[in-house]
């Protein structure tokens, strides 16, 4: 089986695997202890163990789903949304007998700021002029990136535009017609994005249009995040395995809580965000009940997709669903069902997939007045992007230097040595322009995943259309016309998409497993 490229020829296989087991011994909570071959490591040098993790039932479950906080508009001018966001530490009491857990979260600065650690919802309209005054009260530089929104390149929180600790910055952009959809904001500083997001910095954005055909459907927001909590109540640092595969904690949270309860009395429109660093969400109900999809990252589909029983939401992606009240009273669990993204083991081979997780417990009331309301057959017109013959190629690659990875202390470093995640053969370099495009020219991009694990591709500043997926000589044309900014690419797969940028400047594109992004699976697109 072709696995990955191992750079080191100096360590014999036996030595390499001995060291591999030694460093795995220090990795608690990665589900590794049950792996075959993990018992015979007693004489290997033991690195300092990482802090033990909190038990998987240490967080209370089953509270009613919390509403997200909404960012208040400080402007009285029509068509202007003006607000303040502060990135700062905030304590939340999570575990019974530890001090509160310190998150890093976005707050509005308003006095009454109670609610989940998820950043406040920015609820805006097409045509709005948005001005967000941002204050960095972290000890690290940071930025705010407006994931998926067509904002000017110099307002998009690129790693090249850090806001220093203590500094303030006003982000300004105008939301164009056609931009209605489900977005989010999160930091994007050079090599510190993964940590800032897993400590809590992320928040939802909804852009509304004046002619939304589903405007009168009751709307519910599920912002999914991931939490790896140590037993002492602190947020655990990344382990070597977290860096390699992307971090998945022992908890998956919806609006900041574990397995919240949702009661549905009418058919509802759900917006779901995957704000996890690396966890894939294969959304499904445990009783197999069907739901409909009405939107993607960049807003409504052309037509609803009825009768779905599962839907994969890769890290960074969003979706709009229709979830219907019951024929009779019933209940079901909303799951992140098991999905095998081919996580790597430290030596050859892959890890077992992440076990299924419950996202929410849902009680469905019998059909009420609104229930059973038919969806419009057409949601909105979407014009297919027709690519010129300008083509771009993005190749995901990885290389593991076993020697460097197994140096003493390698797993205790802030960022591990020896893991190379690359685009077109190179790790991210702020000084390098990876690709160049011309404004307003529709291009065809091919994203080829030459590694042996899944990577979600994300491009800033625009929404693209997937044209086809190709794997093992098989080409499957995309049948769903949709606007996306993030698309999963499986090992060995190539995804063809049509994309266009409308403003000159530099845009990032990268894997949205944030550890991979920080380790270099990112490039710069210069638009001229």
Q: How far is the CB of 160 from ligand C2O (least distance, A)?
A: 12
Q: How far is the CB of 515 from Cu ion (least distance, A)?
A: 8
Nearer residue to ligand C2O within complex by CB, 146 or 339: 146
User: In terms of Cα–Cα distance, which of 11, 6, 5, 37 is closest to 24?
Assistant: 37
Q: How far is the CB of 475 from ligand C2O (least distance, A)?
A: 28
Q: How far is the CB of 516 from Cu ion (least distance, A)?
A: 3
Nearer residue to ligand C2O within complex by CB, 253 or 459: 459
Nearer residue to Cu ion within complex by CB, 267 or 515: 515
Nearer residue to ligand C2O within complex by CB, 29 or 159: 159
Nearer residue to ligand C2O within complex by CB, 197 or 346: 197
Alpha-carbon separation of residue 292 from 267, 269, 295, 319 (angstroms): 11, 9, 9, 11
Q: Which residue has the tokens 């490591």?
A: 41
Nearer residue to Cu ion within complex by CB, 496 or 516: 516
Cα–Cα dist 262/260, whole Å: 7
Q: How far is the CB of 458 from ligand C2O (least distance, A)?
A: 5
Per CB under 6 A, residues contacting ligand C2O are: 145, 147, 186, 188, 316, 458, 460, 508, 510, 512
Alpha-carbon separation of residue 320 from 145, 214, 268, 478 (angstroms): 22, 11, 10, 19
The 8-class DSSP code of residue 402 comes to H
| Residue 79 burial (CB count, 10 A) | 11
Q: Which residue is nearest to ligand C2O (CB)?
A: 147
Helices (H) and strands (E) in the chain, counts: 5, 32
Q: Considering CB distances under 5 to 8 angstroms, the limit depending on partner class, which of ligand C2O, Cu ion, none binds residue 484?
A: none
Q: Considering CB distances under 5 to 8 angstroms, the limit depending on partner class, which of ligand C2O, Cu ion, none binds residue 188?
A: ligand C2O
Q: How far is the CB of 116 from ligand C2O (least distance, A)?
A: 20
Cα–Cα dist 345/337, whole Å: 21
Q: How far is the CB of 97 from ligand C2O (least distance, A)?
A: 36
Residue 91 in tokens: 């304590």
Residue 380 in tokens: 């909105």
Nearer residue to Cu ion within complex by CB, 30 or 515: 515
Residues 6+ apart with CB under 8 A from 410: 23, 240, 404, 416, 417, 418
Q: Considering CB distances under 5 to 8 angstroms, the limit depending on partner class, which of ligand C2O, Cu ion, none binds residue 316?
A: ligand C2O
Nearer residue to Cu ion within complex by CB, 58 or 521: 521
Residue 239 in tokens: 């382990």
Q: How far is the CB of 20 from ligand C2O (least distance, A)?
A: 32
Q: Considering CB distances under 5 to 8 angstroms, the limit depending on partner class, which of ligand C2O, Cu ion, none binds residue 269?
A: none
Q: Considering CB distances under 5 to 8 angstroms, the limit depending on partner class, which of Cu ion, ligand C2O, none binds residue 163?
A: none
Q: How far is the CB of 315 from ligand C2O (least distance, A)?
A: 9
Nearer residue to ligand C2O within complex by CB, 105 or 361: 105
**Radius of gyration, alpha carbons of the chain:** 23
Spell out where 260-317 has E strands. 261-264, 268-274, 281-285, 291-296, 299-308, 311-313
Alpha-carbon separation of residue 314 from 123, 281, 282, 317, 402 (angstroms): 23, 6, 8, 6, 28
Q: Considering CB distances under 5 to 8 angstroms, the limit depending on partner class, which of Cu ion, ligand C2O, none binds residue 510?
A: ligand C2O
Alpha-carbon separation of residue 232 from 236, 266, 451, 457 (angstroms): 9, 42, 36, 35
Per CB under 5 A, residues contacting Cu ion are: 147, 455, 460, 511, 513, 516
């Amino acid at each position: 089986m072709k696995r990955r490229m191992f750079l080191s020829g100096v360590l014999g296989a036996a030595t390499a695997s001995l060291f591999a087991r030694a460093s795995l011994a220090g990795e608690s909570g990665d589900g590794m202890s049950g792996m075959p071959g993990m018992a015979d490591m007693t004489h290997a040098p033991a690195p300092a163990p990482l802090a033990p993790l909190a038990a998987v039932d240490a967080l209370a479950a089953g509270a009613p789903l919390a509403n997200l906080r909404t960012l208040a508009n400080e402007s009285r001018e029509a068509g202007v949304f003006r607000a303040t966001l502060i990135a700062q530490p905030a304590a939340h009491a999570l575990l019974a007998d530890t001090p509160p857990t310190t998150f890093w979260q976005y707050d509005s600065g308003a006095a009454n700021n109670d609610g989940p650690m998820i950043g406040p919802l920015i609820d805006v309209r097409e045509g709005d002029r948005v001005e967000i005054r941002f204050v960095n009260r972290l000890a690290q530089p940071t930025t705010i990136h407006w994931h998926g929104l067509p904002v000017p390149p110099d307002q998009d929180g690129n790693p090249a535009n850090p806001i220093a600790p203590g500094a303030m910055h006003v982000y300004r952009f105008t939301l164009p017609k056609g931009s209605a959809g489900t977005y989010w904001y999160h930091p994007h500083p050079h090599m510190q994005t993964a940590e800032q997001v897993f400590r809590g910095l992320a928040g939802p954005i909804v852009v509304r249009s004046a002619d939304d055909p589903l405007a009168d459907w009751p709307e519910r927001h599920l912002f999914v995040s991931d939490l790896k909590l140590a037993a002492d109540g602190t947020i655990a640092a990344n382990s070597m395995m977290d860096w390699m595969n992307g971090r998945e904690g022992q908890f998956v949270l919806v609006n900041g809580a574990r397995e919240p309860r949702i009661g549905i009395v009418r058919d509802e429109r759900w917006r779901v965000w995957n704000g996890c660093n690396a966890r894939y969400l294969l959304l499904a109900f445990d009783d197999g009940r069907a739901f409909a999809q009405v939107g993607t990252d960049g807003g409504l589909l052309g037509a609803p997709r009825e009768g779905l029983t599962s839907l994969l939401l890769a890290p960074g992606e969003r979706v709009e669903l229709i979830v219907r009240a019951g024929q009779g009273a019933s209940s079901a669990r909303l799951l992140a069902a098991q999905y095998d993204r081919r996580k790597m083991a430290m030596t050859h081979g892959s890890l077992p997939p992440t076990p299924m997780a419950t996202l929410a417990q849902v009680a469905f009331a019998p059909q009420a007045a609104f229930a059973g309301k038919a969806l419009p057959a057409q949601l909105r017109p979407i014009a297919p992007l027709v690519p010129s013959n300008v083509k771009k190629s993005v190749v995901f690659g990885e290389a593991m230097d076993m020697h460097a990875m197994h140096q003493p202390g390698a797993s205790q470093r802030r960022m591990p040595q020896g893991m190379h995640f690359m685009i077109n053969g190179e790790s991210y370099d702020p000084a390098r322009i990876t690709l160049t495009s011309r404004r307003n020219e529709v291009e065809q991009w091919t994203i080829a995943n030459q590694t042996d694990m899944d990577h979600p591709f994300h491009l800033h500043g625009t929404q693209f259309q997937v044209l086809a997926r190709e794997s093992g000589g098989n080409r499957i044309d995309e049948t769903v016309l949709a606007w996306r900014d993030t698309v999963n690419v499986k090992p060995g797969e190539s995804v063809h998409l049509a994309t266009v940028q409308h403003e000159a400047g530099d845009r990032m594109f990268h894997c949205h497993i944030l550890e991979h992004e920080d380790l270099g699976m990112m490039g710069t697109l210069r638009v001229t």
